[in-house]
Structure formats: C-alpha cells, structure tokens
Structure 1
Amino acid sequence: MRHIAIIGSGPAGYYTAEACQKTFGDDVRVDIIDRMPVPFGLIRSGVAPDHQAIKGVSRRYEAVALTDNVRFVGHVSVGQDISIAELGELYDAVVLATGAPADRPLGVPGDDLPGVIGSAAFVGWYNGHPDFAGLAPPLDGPGAVVVGHGNVALDVARILAKTGAEFDGSDIVSHALQGLGRHRIDTVTLLGRRGPHQIAMTPKELGELGDLTRATAVVDTADLPPLAEDATLDPGQRKAVAHLRAFAAHPGDKPIRVVFDFFAMPVAVEGDGKVERVIVERTALDKDGHAHGTGETYAIPAGLVVSCIGYRTPPIPGVPYDEALGRFANVDGRIAPGLYAVGWARRGPTGTIGTNRPDGFRIAEQIAADLPGDSGKQGRPALDALLAARKVDVVTFRDWQRIEAAEIAAARDGAPREKFVGVEEMMAARDGV
C-alpha cells in the first residue's frame, strides 16, 4: 500500500489524487490536507462568482473525494498543526499543491498606501475567502485603476462595472454585493505595459465587457496595430483583438467607462494618507517585444488600485524555495526524496485549471517510479492519531457537505449559495449550530 499526502485541495490537488487512483488502483490511500474547512481552493475563492459554469468542475473533484481511497482532511494547517518533516515520516510521498495565493507586490513608490490592493485579496473579498472577508476596499470613486491585461484584471473590471441585477445566479457574497451596489466609481482604467497584440485575455472573457448594462469598454484606435498584422496571431488571440477593434469602432455612451490604457505602466501611487492618483509612464516596445519607459508621464485619478500582475506560492518552513520564481524549488516536480510539487506550486502561476490535470498525472508517474514497493509507512491512521493528540478539529468531506447544505439553504433568491466567510461560521454549520 502506498500512502500519499497532498497539501492543498484545489484543482492541482484533486487532479493529482485522481491520477494516483488511476496509477495505483486500490493500492493507494490519499489524504488531501487543507488549512480551510472547505475544499476546492481556487474554484471556490478564485474563479469569478459570475462564472458558475467554470465552478462546475468541482463536481468532478467531489466524485474523487467520495471514493474509498481518497480523503479530505480540512482545517489542518501544515507548518502549524503538523510539519512537512512529520508528514514525510508518515507518508510515502508528500505532494505540495498549495497553488500561488499570494500577490506579487506592485513594486512602485506608494504601493503601501491604503487603497492599493492585490488581486488575490480583492478577488478573495468578493468571493468570501475568510482571509479577505473584512477587506472593505474603497469604492467611493470616482476612478479605479486595475494594473494588468490578463483575465484576472478583466474579472476585477467586470465585477466593478456590473449592476446588482447582473449578479443574479452568481455566488458573490452579500458583503461584496452590498459594497459594490453603493460604489461611485465611474471609470475603471486597465493599465498594460504592452499593446493589444500582447494581451493575455481570452476572447470569451473579453467579449463579456461588450454586454454590460451600465458600462462600456473604451479602446483608442491609435493604440491598435494595422489590421493586416492580426494575421500573425494565433486564432484565440485574433478573436480577442477583434473584440478590442469592435470596442474602438463602436464607443458606447454608458455611465461607467472601462478604459484600456495600452503602452502604460505605473511608476508611483500618490495621495495624502490614501490612494488619490496613479502616476503612469508611457512605454514603447523594442524589437524583441519588451516594454521600456519613454519618460512621458501623466496622472490618473483613482481611489482604488488593484494590482493584477501575478502571484507567488507562500514558502513553507523546511521546503526549498525559489525566490526569483516565487514557487518551490523543484526539478520536474521533484523537490527532495519523497517530496513533490504540482500545479502552480511547481511551475508558477501559469496555465488554466485544466492544465493541472496532466501535471497531476506526471507527478503520479514520478511517484510510481520512485516508490516501487510498500515502504511500511502508516499514513492515514498515524496522521489521525497525531492530530487527535494535538486536539486538531479535523473537517471531513462529509462535514463539508453539511457546510455546503447550510450555505445552499441560506442563499438569497436566484443565488446557488451564500458562502460562510468565517472559519468559525463554517465550523458551526458543520456542527449544526
């Protein structure tokens, strides 16, 4: 019997558990450990609340979780309740699937002013993650600056621009829905260092901006390259740029403007005790497509700055870490004998949710190659005994189903659930309190 511990219950964790089932069959026991009492990681707290179809992938993870040889071990903090070294003594393999939930700093003067928020924190706020439920971002306007030209930046801009009615059917949490309903932001500026051909936005998400009730997307035709150059793009990028061209050709007249500011990078955030403006420098591209400043600067009024420039995996004591790349130091997923990394914890914040599936199978194959036979380690029963001795209040998947049922029962009209935004609330729901 192989005993495998996976740290993190998001897509990378569950795809790896599924891969271990297919690789080892009945000869494996997998424990998926998470510090939260609720599973699914990025699906629950990262995917936009108005993208319910994407969240549906959690049903696949639930099917894995309900099998006999995979178990969810929630409300257990690795590094606090138990160490990586201790897990290594109990399990044949320990797989780090912790994702990259920490924001990269904006890295300009003034980025510590109140009102500068990383996208992980802002997204966590409107998705009800317990770490960020009390964020209270400044939404009194008149402007907001979103730094980045990727899908996360699009999510943030779209959430800021939507009406309350446009959130029908979503699982946005009530505190965010109420806060956004009172906001007075009339301009959301999307800053990107490079041009339309270099955006990391997918066509579907970009197209959603064209369907908003009270907001219009604004693109300056002068920023668009000659139409003939679109032929050099791959089909997906070509479709995305076609949306930008349509926005430029048909400017709308709605109360909120979502402005695409290309060839622009923030160089400072200014204000008297809070964010009041962003200083931006114009950029140009060199022959290799890298952006560099031109020396021309201007100011954008803003009370809120959301930085969507990437993520980092938080270090874990005792695990080699690559500071430059913001992930665990590894070679093709191997960190040390018996210790592996998968998903964003392995490769950094790149790829989609689905990218984690082949990544999980690759790690399962490596574990199989490294563990030819039974090592005699105890795995699950030894973990249970240790956590019980330390009085750790573990949450099982069945417990999570009780929490979920309570969230569904508490949903406002038209919403799939009302998430609990505090760990104590989650634990009370588990206990039927």
Structure 2
Amino acid sequence: MLRVAVVGSGPSGVYTAQALVEQDRVPDVHVHVLDRLPCPYGLVRYGVAPDHEKIKSLQNSLRTVLEHERITFLGNVEVGGDGIPSERIGELYQAVVYCVGAATDRGLAIPGEDLPGSCSATEFVSWYSAHPDAAANSFALQARSVVVIGVGNVAVDVARILARSAEELRPTDVPHRALGALAGSRVREVHMAGRRGPSQARFTTKELRELGALPRARVVVDKAELALDPAYIDPSPRSAPALSSPPNALPLTAAARRNVEVLRGWAAAGATGAGAEGDPLRTIHLRFFLRPVELLERDGRVAGVRFARTVPDGSGGVRDAGTYEDIDAQLVLRAVGYRGLPLPGLPFDPARGTVPHLAGRVLRDGVPSPGEYVAGWIKRGPTGVIGSNRSCAKETVTSLLDDATLLAGRPSAPDPVAALRAWGLRPVEWDGWLSIEQAEAVLGRSLGRGPVKIPDWAGLLSAADGGDRGGP
C-alpha cells in the first residue's frame, strides 16, 4: 500500500487524486484529500460565480472522484499556517502533494489603495460565494459608481454580479445576506478598465457576451477609444502583419479576434444590451488604455480613480500618453490577478509566487525532496482554465509514480485520521460534508429558495456534526 496525502480539494487536488487511483503502475494507492475548509471543491464552490450553473455543475464529476473507495476526504484540516506543520503531515503519509492554489490577489501598488472602499475582487467574490473566511465582510453596495480594475474573467464576473438584480440571483445559491445587500444595491454605473487594448484583454468571448445579455443592464463602449488598438481596426486573422495593416498591428489569436468582433458590434450599435430599451437599471462601461495611478479620497473614503491614458507602444505593450482621466467611484475592486502564498515548511519562489519544482517534485536547494510534490497554481502560477489542471496533475503523478520504489520505503501512520484527531483536529469526513449539503438544502427551503450556502465557520461545522443548521 502507498499512502498519499493531497492537500487541497479544488480541481487540481481532485484531479491529482483521480490520477493516482486510476493508474495501473502501482496497484494499491490510497489517497487522503485534506482541505482547510469543511467543504470540498475549492474554487468551483467558492470562486465560480453563482449564476454560472453549468461550470458549477463540475462539482458533480468532482464528487464522483471523491466518492472512490480508495479516496478519503478530510475537511477542516489545515496544513501550515495555524494548522499542522507540513513536516508533521509528512510523518503520516509516504508522499504529500500540495495543491493549495494561489490564495491571495495582486495589489496595484498605488497611493490610496488602502482607503476604505478599496477592496480586492477576491474579497467580493468570497462574499457573494459564502466563503466562511468572508463572514465578517460587509458590502452594503451603497455606492452609485463602481470601478473594477482589470479585464479578465474575474473582472467580468464581478461586473455582471453588480449589474444583476436580486431576483435574477435568487434561484442561485448566493448566501441570503449577500442577496439582501444586492436587493438594496444603489449601484447604477460599473466601469471596467484595463491598461491595454481590447485585443489584449484576458476575458473569454462567452463571458464578454454575457454582459450584453443582462436583462436589467446595458453595455457602453467608446468607438474612438477602441480604435486606439490597431488590431481593433483590422481584426482579420494573419500569421504576420500585412503590409496594408495599420502601424503596430500584431497577429491576433482566434479568441482575441472574437472578443474584438463583439466589441465592434457593440460600438456600431451604440449603447447596447437587453436592457437598452427604456431606462436600464445599470450601465456597464468597458474602458481600455487606462492605467490606474491613484485612488482619490473624499471624507476618508475612496471617491474615484485617477487613470493615466496609455497608447500602444508598437511592441505589444503600452506607454503613457501624458494625459489623465478621473472616474468617480465610491467602491473600487481590483481584479488584476492571483498570487500564491508561502506555505510554512516548503520552499517558495517569491518572484513567481510558486513552489520550486521539477516536473512536480518539490526542490529544496535545487534538489528534489523525497515525498514532496506540487500541482495546480502553486506549481505553475495562476494560469489556464479549470481543465488545465488535468495535465498538470498527471505530470506530477507521473513523477510520484516514478519515485514509488523510494516512497514505499518511507514510513507512514497506520491510521492517519486517528493521528490527526490525537493532534486535536476535528476532521470533517465525507458524511459530514453530506450533512452540510443537507443543511444547505433545508436552509434554502426555509427561505423559499433552492439550496443556499451556509456562510460561516460555526454554521458549517455545526451542520457537519448534524447539529444546528446555521442561519442565513
């Protein structure tokens, strides 16, 4: 028997566990999937927007993996930080694969970033996704104007949720308090801004198009601003810039070309969207070639964002144009990327925000460390989509299996769960998670809704024990 711990139950962790039990090179591998939270699925549960039901349905396939007879889910087990040191976990298992993701957001490093009313998109997403760490967060949404800095899918998610009505979100699992705040929202303007042009935006076309289909909102783009991007003027596919192409034109990927075509259609139509007829409830402004340089203050809070105007530099980047624009905002949400955090006991590359590795093997002073592996964002950085974690996990598992003879000689605990309990932990096993699911269904029925997430630690742990199901 080979005992392996996988730390993290998001897609990368679950795909790692799946690859371990479905391979045939080492026939008797048993996997414990540990997670700091009482609930599995990681960013699929706590990062995918509540109105993206198709993506959230991925939980069904992750569930099938975690119900495998040689996989055990153990929630409420923190490794590192205030929990069990990584070296002690290594005493219980012959191998440990860390799939802890990228747990924090990137900052802007500009004046005013710490003002009240300036938050990370991660905090906002955690709030409307009922992450228990966000239970103390409060977004009253009394701002009339919101600036979202970033032009990736997270920025689009945040803008879309801000532009939806509470009735649109009521059928989802958004927590009840967040639904109440969204019902009382005074937001009327959402400005999503990026420092480069539309052809370099990181959102997917599907997400972009969703903005134009919102029933209570309209999308506004500035044709003159978009035209600063040479690729916007000529979005035709090409392997190299044609002689007839505008100056600085660069080849477009198919995804970028589709994005540009959507924006061209909106620019030609003027203010557009399903809510354009009559008075839409909210307006989403898509802005480009704006680099944030300062958050403006009034009465001790955020009052707006000062942007430096940028223009293409001819090499795929931008340079400042020497002019500035201020946008009023009472709430600023930054969505400029994620970043991994050091895990106590493991080496860490602060420049990349990842654990140094060789094909998934953790490197200590450049040498592979027996029994220690990484997969997912903590291995490769916050890149790719959910499906990218499959190939990443398979590479790591291949390295682990290549080391199987060495690992088999390492000691492991006969009963790791008993050892965790002896150390004072209260692991939430699969039955406990099913009790949480049942409690969330009961909570939803009491509110006249479908299942509603329990948003706090006390409620989740009580539900896992079969006790009080928690409040809204």
Identity, in percent, stands at 40
- Mapped pair 1:270 → 2:296: yes
Q: Distance in 1 between matches of 2:2 and 2:356?
A: 25
Write out aligned runs for 1:343-362 (5 A): 343-362=376-395
Match of 2:429 in 1: 396
SS at match of 1:327: coil
Q: Distance in 1 between matches of 2:412 and 2:27?
A: 15
| TM-score when normalising by structure 2 | 0.88
In structure 2, stretches of 5+ residues that fail to align are 239-251, 363-368, 468-472
Q: Which of residues 236, 239, 243 is equivalent to 2:262? A: 243
1:83-112 alpha-carbon deviations (Å, 9 max, x no partner) = 111122222211110111211112111100
Alpha carbons of structure 1 residues 138 and 115: separation in structure 2 relative to 1, 3 Å: farther
Letter in 1 for 2:302: V
Q: Which of residues 227, 231, 234 is equivalent to 2:237? A: 231
Measured after TM superposition, the shift of residue 374 of structure 1 is: 5.9
Match of 1:286 in 2: 313
Q: Distance in 1 between matches of 2:448 and 2:266?
A: 31
Q: 2:191, 2:286 within 8 Å by CA — same for their partners in 1?
A: yes
In structure 1, stretches of 5+ residues that fail to align are none
Give the number of aligned pairs.
433
Q: 1:6, 1:13 within 8 Å by CA — same for their partners in 2?
A: yes
Match of 1:338 in 2: 371
Measured after TM superposition, the shift of residue 153 of structure 1 is: 0.3
Q: Distance in 1 between matches of 2:149 and 2:358?
A: 32
Match of 1:123 in 2: 125
Q: Distance in 2 between matches of 1:68 and 1:59?
A: 17
Alpha carbons of structure 1 residues 81 and 239: separation in structure 2 relative to 1, 3 Å: same
Measured after TM superposition, the shift of residue 241 of structure 1 is: 1.8
Alpha carbons of structure 1 residues 188 and 428: separation in structure 2 relative to 1, 3 Å: same
Match of 2:171 in 1: 169
Q: 1:34, 1:77 within 8 Å by CA — same for their partners in 2?
A: yes
Match of 1:46 in 2: 47
Measured after TM superposition, the shift of residue 215 of structure 1 is: 1.0
Tell which has more relative contact order, 1 or 2 (C-alpha 8 A, sep 6+).
1
Coordinate RMSD, CA, aligned? 1.7
SS at match of 2:332: strand
Q: Which of residues 403, 409, 425 is equivalent to 2:442? A: 409
Q: Distance in 1 between matches of 2:450 and 2:351?
A: 40
Match of 1:311 in 2: 338
Please, which moves more after superposition, 22-31 or 12-21? 22-31
Q: Distance in 1 between matches of 2:410 and 2:92?
A: 6
Match of 1:422 in 2: 456
Letter in 2 for 1:140: Q
Whichever of the two has the greater Rg, that structure is: 2
Measured after TM superposition, the shift of residue 319 of structure 1 is: 0.8
Write out aligned runs for 1:15-414 (5 A): 15-24=15-24, 26-79=27-80, 80-222=82-224, 223-224=226-227, 225=230, 226-232=232-238, 233-250=252-269, 251-252=271-272, 253=276, 254-271=280-297, 272-335=299-362, 336-372=369-405, 375-377=408-410, 379=412, 381-411=414-444
SS at match of 1:241: helix
Q: Distance in 1 between matches of 2:435 and 2:411?
A: 29
SS at match of 1:59: helix
